[in-house]
Amino acid sequence: MRRMSLLDSPSQGSAIHPAFIALKARCESREIVDLDAICIEFVAAFKQFILSYNKPSDKAMSRDVDALIKPQLSYITGGLPLPLAIGNLVKQLKQEINALSDDCTEEKGKQQLTDWLDEFVENRIQLAFQAISLFTRDKLKGAHVVLTYSWCPLVEQTLLAAHEDGVNFHVCVLDSYPCQRGKKLLNSLCKADISCSYGLITSVSHLIKQCRLVLLGCSAILSNGYALAIRGSSQVAMVAQAANIPVLLAAPTYKFVDKVQTFTEGHRSSCTALVSERMEMIPADLITAVVTELRILPPSSAPAVLRAKQLVV
């Protein structure tokens, strides 16, 4: 697969905004890794793009912005699909842009769009994370040993918050080569004085016997209840199910997408833009519960969340 290099020039005429160039570079160099972090950076880049936009006097803002976004997005994606949750965000943003009235001023239009982006990050990401931490904390109270895999900022925040609230638990961090992201989680948990152990994913069958709960992150939840997560997650979920241990998936509602897929397709389509890791599917029957900011749900309730959040396309 040919990777787009930084020296590739964008399509003729339209200049790519430096914020997007920086975003792509940072993602490719793995400075930003998890989907939640990428999403926040993506929104920040978009905000800069909108703020630096100059509306021509003869065109309506909504149509103009819409046309300008296309080359920016195709630069970022470089022919690959956008990660599902970010694709969702872009669809909603485009709807918001189209909703701008034809006669709105540049000031007002920019204000509206940046407000929407700010609200998205605040409500759907930051506050959602807090709500998910609270819901998960109640389940952590009964489970004295928790197993988690690799690094997910939401899982990290949940564990740290629960520990601060006085819940007592031990964390088993599983990790895999070559990225060894689990070490990042291990570092922050140890700094907070949480009792941890560390193992490679090959030792999952041994470690699962000590655990009472498995907590995983994900990058998308499909409408049939299947989850998209980093490679290795479904292995952990399968072993947990065999050992009769409940599997909890932390997923804010912005990650719910109106798409159905039951297996990870071939090599090419499992690569997405911006996200450097390869993803895989976790089947719905391996997931005991999905923790969202609305409530704890069974994976089969994914369509209900899509309806509630009007994410159905």
Partner 1 sequence: MAPSTEDSPAGIYFSELLEKDASKSTALAAIETLMSTLEKSKATTVNELTDELKKVVTAMQSTDYSSTSVKSASELFMRFISLASLDLQTFDECMKVLKERGTRFIARVAESRQKIARFAQPFIKNNSRILTHSYSKVVLEALGKVAASGTSFHVFVTESRPDFSGSRTKERLDSIGIPCTLILDSAVGYLMESIDFVFVGAEGVMETGGIINKIGTLGLAICAKAMNKPVYVMTESIKFVKEYPLNQQDIPEVFKYRASTLKENKNLADEHPLVDYTPPQYIKLLFTDLGILTPAAVGDELIKLYL
Angle at CA 270, nearest 5°, toward 178 and 124? Answer: 90
Residue 301 binds partner 1 (CB under 8 A): yes
Of 88, 15, 93, the C-alpha closest to 53 is 15
Answer for which of 213, 218, 249, 306 binds partner 1 (CB under 8 A) is 213
Contact 256, 312 (CB under 8 A): no
Q: Give the Cα separation of 271 and 264 in Å (integer).
A: 11
Q: Rule CB under 8 A: is residue 298 a binding residue for partner 1?
A: yes
- Segment lying near partner 1 (by CB under 8 A), choices 8-16, 46-54, 124-132, 293-301: 293-301
Phi first, then psi, for residue 217 (nearest 5°) are: -100, 175
Cis ω for the linkage preceding 178 (within 30 of 0)? yes
Which of 16, 68, 80, 308 contacts partner 1 by CB under 8 A? 308
Q: Counting contacts by CB under 8 A, is residue 142 touching partner 1? A: yes
- Under the binding rule (CB under 8 A), the answer on residue 288 touching partner 1 is yes
Measured distance between the N- and C-terminal CA atoms of the chain, rounded to whole angstroms: 31
Residue 8 vs 138, nearer CB to partner 1: 138
Q: Is 221 in the site for partner 1 (CB under 8 A)?
A: no
| Beta bridge partners of residue 256, listed in sequence order | 221
100 lies in the binding site for partner 1 (CB under 8 A): no
- In the complex with partner 1, the residue whose CB is nearer, 228 or 289, is 289
Q: With CB under 8 A as the contact rule, which of the stretches 61-69, 90-98, 178-186, 240-248 interacts with partner 1? A: 240-248
d(CA 96, CA 43): 14
Compute CA distances 308 → 231, 253, 303, 305, 311, whole Å: 30, 10, 9, 5, 8
Tokens 């389940």 belong to 139
Regarding 139 and contact with partner 1 (CB under 8 A), the answer is: yes
Selected range binding partner 1 among 26-34, 194-202, 268-276, 281-289, rule: CB under 8 A? 281-289
27 binds partner 1 (CB under 8 A): no
Minimum Å gap between C-beta 243 and partner 1 is 12
56, amino acid identity: P
Least distance in angstroms from the C-beta of 280 to partner 1: 23
**Within 13 Å of residue 128, how many CA atoms lie on the same side as its CB?**
21
Question: Binding of partner 1 at residue 289 (CB under 8 A)?
Answer: yes
The C-alpha atoms of residue 284 and residue 43 are separated, in whole angstroms, by 30
- Binding part of the chain for partner 1, among 53-61, 90-98, 112-120, 244-252 by CB under 8 A, reads 244-252
C-beta of 2 vs 209, nearer to partner 1:
209
Q: Which is nearer to partner 1, 42 or 226 (CB)?
A: 226
Task: Confirm or reject binding of residue 248 to partner 1 (CB under 8 A).
Answer: yes
Half-sphere exposure of 239 (CA within 13 A, CB side): 22
Cα separation, 46 vs 44, whole angstroms: 5
Q: Considering the rule CB under 8 A, would residue 246 count as an interface residue with partner 1?
A: yes
List residues binding partner 1 (CB under 8 A). 139, 142, 212-213, 244, 246, 248, 285, 288-289, 295-298, 300-301, 303-304, 308
